[in-house]
Chains A and B, each alone.
Chain A
Amino acid sequence: MSKDFNILFAGFGGQGVLFSGKLAAYAGLYDDKHITWLPSYGPEMRGGTANCSVCISDTPIGSPCVVSPNAFVALNLPSFERFKDRVVPGGTMIVDSSMIPAKCDRTDINIVYVEASKLATENDLEGLSNIILLGKLFKETGFCTAESLDKALLKCIPPKRKHLLEPNRKALKIGCEA
């Protein structure tokens, strides 16, 4: 992995964009990297588009705004259209193809289509498509270690929602294997 790895998550508010970013950030932290997590904020959080920049680096991070991501996780069509051309050549794009009917014709990046929302429904993991996509991102890029990603899950799922830990682990696994 290169010394800077910048991830952009984007979708509708409520799709867990910020949460998957937080998991990625904590995973980076547990790998002893420098990290930043920056959400979009404001009225657009209410059902509009939400996005989240995560930088993982071996050195202190300058700009936390991810303009040209090494990896882009697209959770809805408007975000897909808006950011698909910004992925750096050689980068990775993970697309929830059950939400996004379009295809990207770029050949200089690794594009992975995952029917994440459909898989979530089929596996009784409603609302965890974001975690399935994160699992796929992990599989494709290895942006963190598996141990750190699991530690991040343990950290980010609050004690009163402990019953969600196993479903999240399952979603990650499905993503990895999809």
Chain B
Amino acid sequence: MEDKFLMKGNEALAEAAIQAGCRHFFGYPITPQTELAAYMAKRMPQVDGTYLQAESEIAAANMVLGAAGSGVRAMTSSSSPGISLKTEAISYMAACDIPALIVNVQRGGPGLGGIQPSQADYWQATRATGHGDFQILVYAPATIQEMVDLVGVAFDKGDQYRIPAMILADGMLGQMMEPVKLPEAKANKIIDKPWACCGHHNKRPHNILNSLLLSPKELEDLIVQRYKRYDIIKENEQKWDEYLIDDADIVVVAYGASSRISHTAVDMAREKGIKAGLLRPITLWPFPVKAFETLKETAKAFISCEMSMGQMVDDVKLAVECKKPVSFVGRTGGKIPTPNEVLDKIIEVGGCC
């Protein structure tokens, strides 16, 4: 089993990015994502890459804008308060159709919050990673291996659709170790980017990456076009995982760290004879509504389990078209729910159906 070894989530994210061909990392220290930047500081010089500690999260994200705008795979990582600062550049990147990777190893908020694991940036990630009409791809890994795999996916899909992508992790996944197998390095298989600003070399008209459109018609037209692309993404890129849902009366919906707790709780419920199952969104945007197509008819009730105050409940309600009750269980502020807390909710909801 020598091809598998233990890695911390934060380090696995970093190495996976390098394997995916990312050679430009711009960061700023913040707990609990520190190991990611530290790993990059060590590894990037070994692969002739750039590790740069910026003067702020704002600057780091704008360096990503510049590097990714010039056509290379670039990324930044931070944790919740730092992501708020990066939203400026994320909005501009979305507006210029620049693909890049942003990693959020979430901690408790709002404000400075805490440094323990949290999922309280769900709304920020899926609704508003900056001002204006736009979305970004949001991937929510639940294991260290999945962190590794999704980094490659995020870069590839970002390039394919010209859209920024986020890995939404949390302090628990960032800090924990699990066995991982790294993918084969995909050297130079990155797609052509004819739109990139890296010099026209007197062979084409100059490229412009710009988000200022003073004519309302032009701006509206561009956004409507972009939303057509979002529709294609919604159609093709929903990802989710299912556990014991075929005969489930009660479906727990949970992503990332809280899905692992829910997984254990579902096992405990099954031992008690309760038909519980787990639906785990892997993409948070696009939200995997397709996963609910049959479930919303067959299941009796849904529970959104989160490390936040019910931020995902609305998405679950929309996905089940309010045909079945959707309730919430979770902790916030850096607290991780225990499997027993989730089990109690399953029993409570089960008693009602």
Q: Is the CB of B176 within 8 A of A38?
A: yes
Interface mask (A15-47 → B, CB under 8 Å = 1, otherwise 0): 000000010011001101011111101110000
B179's partner among A29, A42, A65, A67 (CB-CB below 8 A) is A29
Residue of B whose beta carbon sits closest to that of A42: B115
A43-69 interface (Cβ within 8 A of B): 43, 60-65, 67
The smallest beta-carbon distance between A149 and chain B, in angstroms, is 15
CB proximity of A32 to chain B, nearest CB, Å:
6
Q: Do A62 and B260 touch across chains, with their CB atoms under 8 A apart? A: yes
Contact A35 B32, beta carbon cutoff 8 Å: no
B32, B178, B265: the one contacting A41 at CB < 8 Å is B32
CB < 8 Å: which of B177, B262, B264 contacts A37?
Answer: B177
Whether A63 contacts B263 by the Cβ 8 Å rule is yes
A32-B1, A62-B261 as given contacts; A25 in contact with B176, CB under 8 Å:
no
Q: Is B306 an interface residue when CB atoms closer than 8 A count as contact?
A: no
Taking the nearest CB of chain A, how far is it from the CB of B170, in angstroms?
12
**B118 on the A face (CB < 8 A):** no
CB distance from B95 to the nearest CB of A (A): 36
Asked if B6 contacts A39 (CB within 8 A), the reply is: no
Q: Let me know if A22 and B176 touch, CB within 8 A.
A: no
Contact: B336 with A25, CB < 8 Å?
no
A65→B336 contact, CB < 8 A: yes
A26 touches B264 (CB 8 A): no
- Complex Cα distance, B339 from A61, in Å, reads 12
B339: chain A residues at CB < 8 Å are: 62-63, 67
**Minimum distance in angstroms from B221 CB to a CB of chain A:** 48
Min CB–CB distance B12 → chain A (angstroms): 13
State whether A64 touches B6 (Cβ < 8 A).
Answer: no
Does the CB pair B176–A63 fall under 8 Å?
no
In contact, B261 and A63 (Cβ under 8 angstroms): yes
Contacts of A37 in B (CB 8 A): 6, 176-178
| B338 located at the interface, meaning its Cβ lies under 8 Å from any Cβ of chain A in the complex | yes
CA distance A63 to B339 in the complex (A): 7
The answer to whether B1 and A30 touch across the interface, beta carbons within 8 angstroms, is yes
Interface residues of B in 319-353 (CB under 8 A from A): 336, 338-340
Separation in Å of the B346 CB from the closest CB of chain A? 14
Q: Which of chain A's residues 97-139 have a Cβ closer than 8 Å to chain B? A: none
Residues of A contacting B31 in the complex (Cβ-Cβ under 8 angstroms): 41-42
Establish whether residues A42 and B177, one from each chain, have CB atoms under 8 Å apart when the complex forms: no
Cα separation A34 to B145 with both chains bound (whole Å): 12
Q: Are A36 and B267 touching (Cβ within 8 A)?
A: no
Q: Which of chain B's residues has its CB closest to A152's CB? A: B6
Of all chain A residues, the one with the shortest Cβ separation from B342 is A63
Residues of B within 8 A of A60 (CB): 263
> Quick check: B267 and A62 within 8 Å, CB to CB?
yes
A62–B264 CB distance below 8 A: yes
Given A36-B177, A42-B116, is A26 in contact with B336 using a C-beta cutoff of 8 Å? no
| Mask: chain B, 158-179; 1 = CB below 8 Å from A; 0 = not | 0000000000000110011111
Convert B102-130 into 0s and 1s, putting 1 for each residue whose CB lies closer than 8 angstroms to a CB of A.
00000000000001100000000000000
Q: Assuming A37-B6, A64-B260, A67-B338, what are 11 further A-B pairs, CB within 8 angstroms?
A: A29-B1, A34-B179, A35-B6, A35-B178, A36-B176, A37-B176, A37-B178, A41-B171, A61-B260, A63-B336, A63-B338
19 examples of A-B residue contacts, CB within 8 angstroms? A25-B6, A25-B177, A29-B1, A29-B4, A32-B1, A38-B172, A38-B175, A38-B177, A41-B32, A41-B175, A42-B32, A43-B115, A60-B263, A62-B260, A62-B267, A63-B264, A64-B176, A65-B261, A67-B339
